Amino acid sequence: MSLVVAVANQKGGVGKTTTAVNLGASLAVAEQRVLLIDMDPQGNASSGVGRPSRSAPQGTYQVLIGQASLRDVILQTELPHLHIAPSSPDLAAAESELVDEEDRAQRLRDEIARVRDDYDFVVIDCPPSLGLLTLNALCAADAVLVPMQCEYFALEGLANLSGTIERVRAQLNPTLRILGVILTMYDPRNKLAIEVATEVRKHFHVYDTVIPRNVRLAEAPSHGKPVVLYDAASKGAHGYLNLAREILLELPEAAA
């Protein structure tokens, strides 16, 4: 049975998609079978693994509106153990098209249930909002991984996300939990970053691994590659490989 992880933060620009792509790739390098699901209409996770929306005839939009099964849209990536369910700009229309459907929040959960035995991890890249697309991801997930940049407003965003997770747990997904917080774009020379990190650690499980600002990590998406394929020796690649290692050590049953 796979572990389904939603990578979510309603605040944009915190490294959410970067984390989804590179954590998925790092787990795949560790020979875990990984399905990356792109639930963001921008499709950056798809292009980040070399599968831009223009190259895919169908994707998560068709899955949500019932025109295709999740299994039908899954594509292979350059990494043997990493698959992608791509997104497209059409996905933005799903919220309005599903507004009157009783099962609108469970569409993704039902589709993942049909394929999850084929994978060790299902990683869902969520859009930077708390609308129906993110709600589908939270209903489908076992746990939420929260990328967070160490700045003042990030604390407020984390509190809002925690409230949303509590509401989803109470009404739709009672087993949902926060897997942990991963600090991104971290600069240990920045006093505010240290103070924010210290405060977050008082309330949440924060991974020992931190993801530094890294040029190679920022360049990798433009080449359609996870950083572990673009520059495996870079600090960014080492960061996500270490994060994958931490998660596997904490969750041996998920990797069994």
Return the CATH number at 180.
3.40.50.300
Through-space distance between the first and last CA atoms of the chain, rounded to whole angstroms: 9
| Dist CA 16 CA 172 (whole Å) | 24
Q: Please compute the mean of the pLDDT values over residues 213-224 and round it to a whole number.
A: 95
pLDDT at 126 > cutoff 80? yes
Instruction: Indicate whether 256 belongs to any domain.
Output: no
CA distance 226 to 231: 9
Q: Residue 46 and residue 148: Cα distance in Å, rounded?
A: 21
146 inside domain: yes
The number of distinct structural domains making up the chain is 1
Q: For residue 96, tell me if it sits in a domain.
A: yes
**pTM, rounded to two decimals:** 0.95
DSSP, collapsed to helix, strand or coil, labels residue 5 as: strand
The rounded distance, in Å, linking the Cα atoms of 238 and 26 is 9
Domain membership of residue 109 as a residue range: 3-250
User: What is the structure's pLDDT at 136?
Assistant: 97
**In this structure, is residue 255 part of a structural domain?**
no
Residue 221, both tokens: 């998406």
In this prediction, residue 157 has a pLDDT band, given cuts at 50, 70 and 90, of confident
